[in-house]
Amino acid sequence: MYVQDLLERGSRRTAKRAQLHQLGPKSNFNAVSPYRLAERADAPILLIHGKDDTIVPFKQSLMMADALKDAGKPYEFVQLEGEDHWLSQSATRKQMLSAAAVFVEKHNPAD
């Protein structure tokens, strides 16, 4: 995330400083990275990502899905075609809500 943001915003000193202020020191990145800690997941994970997201690169969800798969962890990945970061289209909002409801009912059913 840090590298991607710098690529998009430029690697100026102020951009780096702002990112480090928000994320903390680089020395702690691996300790808090969901991607690097996939093997510690202790519950099923639902990833939902718009293919046209310009805020969070779609590649990050692909990488997380791969890490969960490699770690043998249960996950589902819903890719929303033509959708952005904010779920701006009603059809994909409905798709997201439906996928989330099915996931919760499957992994945490009502008693």
- Same domain, residue pair 62 and 100: yes
Compute the distance between CA of residue 5 and CA of residue 26 in angstroms, rounded to an integer: 14
Residue type, 102: V
What is the structure's pLDDT at 37?
96
Written as one string, the DSSP assignment of 82-96 is T--TT--SHHHHHHH
- Same domain, residue pair 28 and 41: no
Q: What is the pLDDT of residues 9-26, one digit of tens each?
A: 666 788 788 878 888 888
- The neighbour count for residue 44, using CB atoms within 10 Å, is 15
Residue range of the domain that includes 26: 1-32
What is the structure's pLDDT at 6?
72
Residue type, 90: S
What is the structure's pLDDT at 2?
75
Q: How many domains does the chain have?
A: 2
What is the structure's pLDDT at 3?
77
pTM metric for this prediction: 0.84
- Same domain, residue pair 57 and 108: yes
- Same domain, residue pair 57 and 107: yes
Mean pLDDT, consecutive 10-residue segments, the chain of 111 residues? 73 79 86 94 98 93 98 98 96 97 96 82
What is the structure's pLDDT at 30?
87
With b for 16 or more beta-carbon neighbours within 10 A and e for fewer, the 7-43 pattern comes to eeeeeeeeebeebeeeeeeeeeeeeeeeeeebeebee
Tell me what the pLDDT averaged over the chain comes to.
91
Strands annotated E in 26-106: 45-50, 75-80
